[in-house]
Amino acid sequence: MQQKVLILDFGSQYTQLIARRVRELNIFCEIFPYNSKNFKIEDYKAVLLSGSPFSVRAEDAPHPDLTSIKGKLPLLGVCFGAQFMAHNFGGKVAASNTREYGRANLSFIKNNEPFFDGVNENSQVWMSHSDTIVDLPEHFELIASTHDVANAAFKIENELTYGIQFHPEVYHSKDGLKILENFLVKIARIAQTWTPESFVDSTVKKLKERVGNDKVVLGLSGGVDSTVAATLLSKAIGDNLYCIFVNNGLLRKNEFENVLEQYKDMGLNVKGVDASARFLKELEGKIDPEEKRKAIGKVFIEVFDDEAHLLRDVKWLGQGTIYPDVIESVSVNGGPSATIKSHHNVGGLPDFMKLKVIEPLKMLFKDEVRRVGRSLGIDDELLGRHPFPGPGLGIRILGDVTAEKVRILQEVDAIFINGLKEWGLYDSVWQAGAMLLPVNSVGVMGDERTYEKAVVLRAVESTDGMTADWVNLPYEFLQKTSNQIINGVKGVNRVVYDISSKPPATIEWE
């Protein structure tokens, strides 16, 4: 049995990053809303309290019951979690008089404090709160400060209970991972046994128990997620897995044929279904991004329902859903986090859908999926493929989608992606693609005026898709790519490059 960590979510957009950092330490963790009844506290070895958009002083602030946790299990409150404990147990939390957002440096660390073992006294941390702990309650001991935040960290006497007002989970807290390791490994004494190999073993076992001798149909896209999901299911149920690759008409150039060829030698039973006309018809006249995503999802499910009826006794629909899909689509496990956008493969199933859904990768981040894929022996070239959105080019064509616009964008995308590979840039980019804008721009070719489409190129670096920064591609590459697109793709006369980061932008434009 894996030793597990419970993360109670108070609605912070950083909660998933806490989970990812814990996983980096080879420790399994789960996120539940602070008021959930769907977990048993005795299943966990330690508890983390997340940040929150709420103030602990507000009437509608989350108010968790820590009776079964505090003093009984190792407990760490992060930001709101720390402020809640200070506020609830006799201290004082007030609106901050100084700016407590962004970078800060520790100015004091208590000597010989194991929580900060190996952490430099001037270590950079990341603050993100408008309230501050003014006075600590009785029996709360100060263990760290910054120049502006007197009570940056505390512990409770005679308990394994800690609180910090900064965010160790974000990249800008330079020793954040070390602090989490100190708490979870040295203080809570949790074994670091959650590895890709252990995930494969436990997942295959669970899949066998859950699916039994039932048949599963799975949508195979050629991407990392669906490939790893299919391989796990195949390992668990063998020939009872039926893979279907649907051409939704919104794939990259020649991808339908290439993907079918790619899986020929992987031992997977794959059927190709060309439903491009059906998808494009459903998208006619739709310009709102959410309407397009839902339309694509609707047809995706309908096609699978049709195909499942051609197979006898299929009971499950396998999907390559991963953790960021879930987090950005709905509040984590019903918690208070804000919804960013819906994903076509995590929405509600229509009433007529006869299949139950199974998602082997639902708790993994993208980098974890790749590590699991490597442990399964999947080819590195396939594992290194950039993520590609489920709705495909449908959400990279801003506005309405037509067959002609798909053709234009496929040609543009092919030039861009092939260029990245030729220049040796592909593997240094996490995700790249092109967007077709719903505007025409004036241009001149020869002596003639043109009035054609503008396209946007986008390339980002990231580890899990939760945050991303634009890639500073060489000007020479961008210049050559722009010339190739404008000269080679009929209907395009302008190329621009997107230099927005996530946040505040998202990776996709829709």
Point out the residues that are catalytic. Answer: 79, 167, 169
User: Which three-class secondary structure state does DSSP give residue 452?
Assistant: strand
**Beta carbons of 411 and 397 less than 8 angstroms apart:** no
- Give me the helices (H) in 275-348, please: 276-283, 289-310, 323-329
Neighbours of 58 (CB within 10 A): 10
- Partners of residue 245 on adjacent β-strands: 272
φ/ψ of residue 168, rounded to 5:
-70, -15
Query: Residues, the chain, total?
Result: 510
List CB contacts of 474: < 8 A, sequence separation 6 or more: 423, 425
Cα separation, 30 vs 363, in Å, equals 8
User: Cα-flanking dihedrals φ and ψ of residue 398, to 5°?
Assistant: -75, 130
Distances in Å between the Cα of 140 and the Cα atoms of 145, 164, 218 are 14, 12, 53
Q: Confirm if 9 and 54 have CB atoms less than 8 A apart.
A: no
Q: Look up residue 183 and give its two tokens.
A: 């708490």
Query: Do 219 and 52 meet the contact criterion of CB atoms below 8 Å apart?
Result: no
Residues 6+ apart with CB under 8 A from 403: 249, 280
Residue 42 phi/psi, 5-degree rounding, is -70, -10
